[in-house]
Chain A
Amino acid sequence: MDEKIPKELALQLYETMQRIRSFEMAVVELFARGKIPGFLHTYVGEEAVAAGVCAALRPDDKIISTHRGHGHLIAKGGRLDLMMAELFGKRTGYCKGKGGSMHIAEPDLGMLGANAIVGAGIAIINGAALTAQYLGTDQVAVAFFGDGASNTGVFHEALNMASVWNLPSIFVCENNGYAESTPKHQHQKIKDVAVRAVAYDMPSIIVDGNDVGAVYRAAQEAVARARVGGGPTLIEAKTYRLRGHYEGDPQMYRTREEIESWEKKCPLERWRKVLLAADVPAEGIEEIDRRIEQELKEAVAFAEESPLPDPAEARSDIFTPLPAEM
């Protein structure tokens, strides 16, 4: 067991990962049964990144996510029932059925949304970081994105701005080796995305993205720096997406062997072994698994039973009403 991570936190990290994994496996099945419209991009295999980073945050810290955003919302405290209802397109969902999987958000939890434009959130998070700096709070703001997004212009613009303004922004690259179907060696020559931080005079950390303890410690270091005005950090978490880019992806671009080699590095399995080796009782872990299973059952039932949105509301929420004095 990692001596820097207390047992209670270690179990919490496991629970977060299990909540993400269980939610994703449930929605995969529901999607296949036609219960969930639209696209579905799951976070299976990458759970340690969201879980580790968000465990280092406070409830009032901000995050912004990607098209693969369920894990980030769960790790920031998202409720499975409200998430499931949103994915079902129901009125009771987090976004009243207007956002769905790719735009799921809960600003009250500091989650500024899944975002289906690759790279966009990297620029937006600077605004959240600027608000904290401007108001003199010690909040930090985290953008999650992938290796593909590190080739967008906005990545470079945003890291430069965060650096020159010394913002409490933390850029977390979930390097899963593929930009959709394009393998990393075809889309960038550098081995580590982290080297790009050098161009912006920004510290960077490379971490095993399937080791939740390591991710947590890396995030802690970046968060501690940002909180005291030490500026932004680029964290590169090397990980792997165990399912397709989207559900239904035939995955012609990678081999079964490659996927299997990463299944052996499953972040949940690895952490479970760490817990057991640290004399955490197996029953405690199983209790967590059972609790989540029950929670998911209730979430699915809630989504199933929830009403559809009223078509009369399709054009509400475009604009905020003007204040009375205007």
Chain B
Amino acid sequence: MVQMTYREALKQALREELQNDERVFMLGEDIAEFGGTFKVSLGLLEEFGPRRIRNTPLSESAILGAAVGAAATGLRPIAEIMYSDFFAVALDQVVNQAAKMRYMFGGKLSLPLTIRTTMGGRRSAAAQHSQCLEAWFMHVPGLKIAMPSNAYDAKGLLKSGVRDPNPTIIFENKMLYNTSGEVPEEPYFVPWGRANVVREGTDVTVVALSDMVDFSLKAAERLADEGISLEVIDPRTLVPLDIDTIVQSVQKTGRLVIAHEACVTGGVGAEIGSQAAYHALDYLTAPIERVGAKDSPIPFSPILEREILPDDQDVVDAVHRTIDYSA
């Protein structure tokens, strides 16, 4: 094991997959000389050349369209959408094309296409560069979605995503790029659809996504001082979703908090909570709590942004509500 940043782990995954298969190539805005806005691909141009590390025009529909067409005809593109907010100008290629092409054609082709994008706020990037839009894509059958929360998963999930013969979307958290974690020196994969029980506990299950995993672990430390034991589960991928691991935990703890940075209303917490309740209703001793951003565009000023976005305090408060609840 070596200590490595989330950014470096992602770059290693890209490098290994580019080395592994000549059909793998990257395309996106500013990804070549500039190395990408978050420098994940910095240096790959020198290693792999402009044929495989392709700067594109500032044209998200053309990027994703080309990726769909290339995947449909035998290549394995890795497209980058600089900020997931920018998906909004090119959703057709994801929602109507990539997600449906195999199905519409009766299974006649596969689309081994990976889309890397960034998510999340806490950087004063304001309303159009801070969103968490994973729920949009979870609602469209035909797409697989990963939200790595640490360096190990970032590398392993990205590698599995690139090898997957289906459209995969990876939401990279901007606030995690500089965080470090232990990563094996030898190549490895993290399978999609297998949740990670990050911390075992007995009183409350916290299902946390992306950087809410770290906030939930902080909350777990704080609550341990009060004698409350949290079980923190990172689903790692939303599609496929490992609901079994979540249900088993709820059957043990009887309480469920779901934490994501996306705003609460219509967030994936609603879906996870609904599935968990369906399978474990008789075990629940309190209403399911959802932690997320307050329903608002993300503001610019740091003090306003902190007001809107969730953190460990929100997890602590939600856990208390589940403990204090009496029917």
The one of A95, A141, A322, A326 that contacts B108, using a Cβ cutoff of 8 Å: A95
Q: Are B104 and A131 in contact (CB under 8 A)?
A: no
Q: Are B56 and A130 in contact (CB under 8 A)?
A: no
Give Cα A112–Cα B68 distance, bound, in whole angstroms.
11
Q: Are A320 and B165 in contact (CB under 8 A)?
A: yes
Asked if A317 meets B69 with Cβ closer than 8 Å, knowing A134-B75, A157-B59, A161-B62, the reply is no
Interface-centre pick from B107, B110, B144 (highest chain A CB count, 10 A): B107
Q: Are B104 and A105 in contact (CB under 8 A)?
A: yes
Contact with A along B89-111 (1 / 0, CB 8 A): 10011001100011111111111
Q: B181 at the A/B interface (Cβ < 8 Å)?
A: no
Q: Are A323 and B165 in contact (CB under 8 A)?
A: yes
Q: Are B72 and A124 in contact (CB under 8 A)?
A: yes
CB neighbours of B68 from chain A (8 A): 123-124, 127
- What's the least CB distance linking B27 to chain A, in Å? 9
CB neighbours of A124 from chain B (8 A): 65-66, 68-69, 72, 93, 97
| Binding-face segment, A96-104, A254-262, A291-299 | A96-104
Contact with A along B134-151 (1 / 0, CB 8 A): 000000011010000000
- What's the least CB distance linking B26 to chain A, in Å? 12
Interface range on chain B (Cβ under 8 Å from partner): 35 or more
CB neighbours of B73 from chain A (8 A): 62, 112, 127-128, 131-132
- What's the least CB distance linking B179 to chain A, in Å? 27
Give Cα A141–Cα B105 distance, bound, in whole angstroms.
19
CB neighbours of A129 from chain B (8 A): 69
Q: Are B25 and A126 in contact (CB under 8 A)?
A: no
Q: Are B65 and A320 in contact (CB under 8 A)?
A: no
User: Of all chain B residues, which has the CB nearest A316?
Assistant: B107
Q: Are A120 and B97 in contact (CB under 8 A)?
A: yes
User: Of all chain A residues, which has the CB nearest B71?
Assistant: A127
Give Cα A322–Cα B69 distance, bound, in whole angstroms.
21
Asked if A164 meets B57 with Cβ closer than 8 Å, knowing A124-B69, A127-B69, the reply is yes
User: Of all chain B residues, which has the CB nearest A160?
Assistant: B57
Q: Which residues of A contact B (CB under 8 A)?
A: 62, 64, 93-99, 103, 105-108, 112-113, 115, 117, 120, 122-132, 134-135, 141, 153-154, 157-158, 160-161, 164-165, 316-323, 326
